[in-house]
Amino acid sequence: MTKFQSPNLEWQSRYARLQAAYASEFERNRQLHGDRIRCCRGCDDCCHQLFQISEPEAAEISRAVKELPPEVQAKVRERAATYLDRRAALVARTGQVESWGALHGEGLRLPCPALQDGACLVYARRPLICRKFGIPLWNPDRPGRVYACQLNFRDGEEIADSRLVQIQTELHGQWKRLQHDYSVAGGHRDNRPLTVARAVVEDCSSWFP
């Protein structure tokens, strides 16, 4: 296995800047769209969607779990183990159903093991998809439509935002460049589906220095 080399690349700083950029984009959308974006504590539909995460995000979640009180760690790890079994059964039955900005219906959802009493136990280190879900999303790799949570925007509803494509294309590019540099530097890559649950059950903290 290639040893991870990270001379002067400041991985944590780059990732933190990207997190801050997504936070700014979320707030820009709140200002632009007003009360149409109703995301708040207790609204956790997005926390029941199936999605995969990257190795750097898994490392962050593993660190966050270690910071929880021991009794809370035990409960979230138990939920994560159950989640993995249920996810495997769901995928075997329906195929790999991934959510990207839009909500799946009943039968294609599982509660994230980090979800407790309507709030996220690893909120400060949550993955990027969790930081941007709820606002209109543009992915240059999927340019056919703008995705948005159906609780905030109806399907087919016009979204007036002249800056959306430019801003989110740049954010998408920054994230891809960070992951590319991470791979080139010998960062760990996993060949199995990587989820929040796996990052809870396994210790991925050494993957992203």
Bridge partners of 120, per DSSP, are 115
Q: How many domains does the chain have?
A: 1
Q: What's the one-letter identity of residue 110?
A: L
Residues 6+ apart with CB under 8 A from 10: none
pLDDT at residue 63 in the model: 96
CA distances from 78 to 26, 47, 52, 83, 130 (A): 32, 17, 19, 9, 22
In whole angstroms, give the CA distance from residue 6 to residue 43.
39
Domain-embedded: residue 38: yes
Q: Give pLDDT, residue 71.
A: 97
CB 175 within 8 A of CB 19: no
3-class SS at 119? strand
Question: Would you say residue 5 lies in a domain?
Answer: no
Q: Is 157 inside any structural domain?
A: yes
Residue 87 located in a structural domain? yes
Distance CA 170, CA 140 (A): 10
pLDDT at position 146? 87
Per-residue model confidence as pLDDT tens digits over 64-85: 999 999 999 999 999 999 999 9
Q: Do residues 185 and 47 make contact, with C-beta atoms less than 8 angstroms apart?
A: no
More confident residue, 97 or 166: 166
Q: Which of 208, 199, 200, 203 is nearest to 179 (CA)?
A: 208
The stretch 137-148 carries a mean pLDDT of 87
Residue 43 in any domain: the answer is yes
When pLDDT is cut at 50, 70 and 90, the band that residue 1 belongs to is very low
Name the more confident of 101 and 156.
Answer: 156
Does residue 119 lie in a domain region?
yes
Domain assignment of residue 132, given as a range: 11-203
- 1 part of a folded domain: no
Q: Tell me, yes or no, if the pTM score tops 0.85.
A: yes
pLDDT of 156 higher than 50: yes
Confidence of residue 200 (pLDDT cuts 50, 70, 90): very high
The residue to which tokens 């700083």 are assigned = 13
**Amino acid code (one letter) for 128:** L
Tokens of 42: 């207790």
159 token code pair: 């979204």
Mean residue pLDDT across the chain? 88
Within a domain: 208: no
Rounded Cα distance, 49 and 194, in Å? 14
Q: With pLDDT > 70 as the criterion, what percentage of the chain qualifies?
A: 90
Least confident of 15-24, 40-49, 53-62: 40-49
Residue with the larger pLDDT of the pair 3 and 43: 43
> Which pairing describes strands 119-120 and 115-116: parallel, antiparallel, or unpaired?
antiparallel
